[in-house]
Structure 1
Amino acid sequence: MSADLDTDADEVLDVRKIDGQPFDPIMAALGELSEGETLLLVNSFEPEPLYEVLTERGFEYESEQRGPDHWHVRIEHA
């Protein structure tokens, strides 16, 4: 993993600030992502259940733990 996983992200979505389930906002952000753009997802835990969904929908991802309750997931079209 790159120490600068987030430096080239086109969009950032911090789901730690969302009250409730973050799945719909994540899918909405991915729906707006153009080819060649990246989304940085910031979460309080590793979103392992999301990985299969991303793969099924044609996205690639890289994850990095930044702290005890701080994860960055860089997502882009495969």
Structure 2
Amino acid sequence: MTDTPLHAKTPHVVDARFMEPPEPFVQTMEMLDTLQPGEKMLLLLYREPHPLYQVLTRNGHAYSTELLPDGTFEILISR
């Protein structure tokens, strides 16, 4: 988890591109717990997290995914 970096979409970012499972999931869930209603977080990964999508949907979180040219998946998650 990064120390509140500046990002155009949200200051709440988990850069998990170089983390091994299950660390990206753990860090994402921990950050989601700190967000206030209406806030968003951004998860950065080099693979698409299909199991995470199921958990987010089950827990009522909205998300959108964008694949960047460098292979990064940006997953913007709303609380």
Verify same fold: TM over 0.5. Answer: yes
5+ residue gaps, structure 1: 1-5
8 A contact 2:17–2:72 mirrored in 1: no
Q: Partner of 2:14 in structure 1?
A: 13
Q: Partner of 2:4 in structure 1?
A: none
5+ residue gaps, structure 2: 1-6
In the comparison of the two structures, how many residue pairs are matched?
72
Aligned Cα root-mean-square deviation (Å)? 1.6
8 A contact 1:10–1:37 mirrored in 2: no
Name the aligned partner's letter for residue 42 of structure 2: L
Supply the distance in 2 between the matched residues of 1:51 and 1:19 (Cα, whole angstroms): 18
Kindly tell me: are residues 20 and 53 of structure 1, through their superposed partners in 2, closer, same or farther at Cα, counting changes over 3 Å?
Answer: closer
What are the residue-to-residue correspondences of 1:37-76 with 2, within 5 Å?
37-76=39-78
The structure whose RCO (Cα within 8 Å, separation 6+) is larger is 1
Say which structure is richer in strand.
1
- What is the percent sequence identity of the aligned residues? 33
Name the aligned partner's letter for residue 44 of structure 2: V
